[in-house]
Amino acid sequence: MTKDKICKIFDCFQKNNPYPKCELIYTNEYTFLIAIILSAQSTDKGVNKATRELFAQISTPQDMLDLGIDDLKTYIKTIGLFNNKAKSIINMSQDLVNKFNGQVPKERNDLETLAGVGRKTANVFLNSIYGKPYIAVDTHVGRVSKRLKLTKEDKPLLIEKDLEQNIPNQYKKYAGHWLVLHGRYTCKAKKPDCENCIIQKYCPSFGKIS
């Protein structure tokens, strides 16, 4: 994939959706971090439905600790892997209280010291909240990136490194959002909607995916 074609692809994304946003609903930085953790292997729609009542009750790590793991589970029981996620959220909240005075840190290295927070979660948080040019690699980003020949890798960290190298700086702030949304609604794993794809004339996989 040439730099010229890459620019044309992201120009199309930019023209179609200049300021894309994460589709998770939250009330502050802390609840956003919770929503991201809950979204692993779950849909944003499902997470938003489950957290509507939860976020009306809690807004700080101490609120969550006061709520307790058993009551937390009653709010998120419709989300996949809710038992493990509840444990991670309680432990993460305790880490925030113990290490950061209840405040969500602003640096990736600090975020990754929190229970349940890996590189992808940290990247989503810092990109969405602070506009840092980090690209979080989920299944959508990985799939679309490979179909666009932006990477040949399978491991998220290696895909991220390829995207950092191949995507021009002017697109990086929103690149992850564009790739996620394109994978979620158009370039799906099964039966991608190639006929209605806004980047079809630049896609090296057009007409080759069933």
Of 126, 143, 160, 122, give the one whose Cα is nearest residue 40: 122
Rg (CA), the chain: 18
Contact in structure between 81 and 41 (CB atoms under 8 Å) = yes
Answer yes or no: 120 catalytic.
yes
Contact in structure between 151 and 159 (CB atoms under 8 Å) = yes
Query: What span, in angstroms and rounded, lies between the C-alpha atoms of 10 and 167?
Result: 9
Options 63, 70, 71, 120, the catalytic residue: 120
Of 210, 156, 208, give the one whose Cα is nearest residue 179: 156
What is the residue type of 65?
A: L
Contact in structure between 92 and 84 (CB atoms under 8 Å) = no
Query: What span, in angstroms and rounded, lies between the C-alpha atoms of 185 and 81?
Result: 24
Options 138, 162, 188, 208, the catalytic residue: 138
Query: What span, in angstroms and rounded, lies between the C-alpha atoms of 77 and 81?
Result: 8
Query: What span, in angstroms and rounded, lies between the C-alpha atoms of 12 and 110?
Result: 35
Answer yes or no: 193 catalytic.
no
Contact in structure between 67 and 74 (CB atoms under 8 Å) = no
Q: Which residues are catalytic?
A: 120, 138
